[in-house]
Structure 1
Amino acid sequence: MTPLEFADRAAWEDWLEAHHADGTEAWLRIGKRRTALALVRIEEALDAALCFGWIDGQRKALDADSFLQRYTPRRPAGAWSQVNRAKIEALTAAGRMRPAGLARVAEAKADGRWAAAYEPQSTAAVPPELTAALDPAAAAAFDALPRSERYTLMLPLLQARTAASRTRIAARIAASLGAAAPRRD
């Protein structure tokens, strides 16, 4: 993996224009908020990626002034977040979306993934399926976790599209917390 460095959003968009159709991934060196380095900022990088049908992924520490962020083409059946859905709507209104990005949106709207976008950590509530699956000890263990870890556990449940999937995932989460039996209160 050789990180790519772009001074601004326009340079990253130029790279995406040339490589979005045949690229498999790009690791970008992103400048931290308070650095003086001339590197594209995380918000700008994501907006540009979304315009071309790409999505952000894994992040890795690099140095005091920057980090690495992975971008890949969006998977055909990949889930959508409400945050990225709102970003796409704003980018569309601004006329920035490109055909490849618009195609990913059309696919998601056609198969229901757009409407099923999952909640961000800041607003996500514990799904009722999970509440029902947790016995008191597991519920206490879940409540003791930091908010970010609770969200990480809940994310597959928030992304599930069917009731059967939600029930199965909730049971798996409950089991991972040491409670295989459903709550009986």
Structure 2
Amino acid sequence: MTAVRGKGFPVETVETVEGLAVIAFGDGTELEAWLEQHHGDTPGIWLLLAKKGTDLPSPTADEILDGTLVYGWITGKRITRDERTYLQKITPRRPRSLWSQVNVRQVEALTAAGRMREPGLAEVRAARADGRWEAAYPSQKDATVPDDLAEALAADPRASAAFDALGKTDRYLVILSLWQARTAKTRAARLARAVAALAAGGKPR
């Protein structure tokens, strides 16, 4: 597949990563126009994005988030490409994929503004129907220690001390793993593993 040259990129590239095309867009409008045509006929793409401090135009993080939500897609991992650019994967949302509270709030704002399109609305309806909408997980900024984790840590001083010594990101990953458990049994198992790892002086995995 051939990468599409965005307006600000002077050289057209022929590039794929992990089997997906690399595409450069000059702004969010170009990205949404592409998604309008191709949201249902491709397994995903890599966005070719400009790093801060360069003079290459590309969609902003907010534009990427809005465009993907509008058409039922999600953002994925980022990887460095060169000194001026990086790549970000965007893909159609998979069935039963979890929602974040950040995305829930943004969809509500996009809906109020009349910007949501049917592919995105269909994903919202599915998430509301099966409970994923109400179970959306918090961002690192908003996450708090859930009751079951707090009780388990209170019962194990070594695990509690180890948890308190973790950095913000590692603490969030412990909390996030519990939020993302699809069943009570899975959540309980993850909680037990996390507490055991902390008590043993390691990081939960």
Same-fold status (TM-score > 0.5): yes
Q: Which of 175, 181, 205 lines up with 1:154 in the alignment?
A: 175
C-alpha distance after superposition, 1:3-39 (max 9, x if no partner): 2110011111122112211211211122344432111
- Give 1:144's aligned residue: 165
- 2:38 equivalent to 1:16: no
Q: TM-score, normalized by length of structure 1? A: 0.88
- 2:150 maps to amino acid: T
- Give 1:77's aligned residue: 96
Q: Structure 2 unaligned runs (5+)? A: 1-16, 201-205
Alpha carbons of structure 1 residues 115 and 41: separation in structure 2 relative to 1, 3 Å: same
- Give 2:11's aligned residue: none
- 5 Å-filtered alignment, 1:89-104, equals 89-104=108-123
- Give 1:107's aligned residue: 126
Q: Which of 29, 38, 56 lines up with 1:37 in the alignment?
A: 56
> Using CA pairs below 8 Å that are at least 6 residues apart, which structure has the higher relative contact order?
1
- 2:54 maps to amino acid: T
Stretch of structure 1 that moved more, 127-136 or 108-117: 127-136
- 1:153 maps to amino acid: V
- Between Structure 1 and Structure 2, how many residues are aligned? 179
% identical equivalent positions: 50
Q: What is the DSSP-based 3-state SS (H/G/I as helix, E as strand, rest coil) of the residue aligned with 2:136?
A: coil
C-alpha distance after superposition, 1:35-60 (max 9, x if no partner): 32111111101110110100011111
- 1:14 maps to amino acid: A
Provide the rounded CA distance (Å) in 1 between the counterparts of 2:174 and 2:81: 27
Structure showing greater Rg: 2
Q: Structure 1 unaligned runs (5+)? A: 180-185
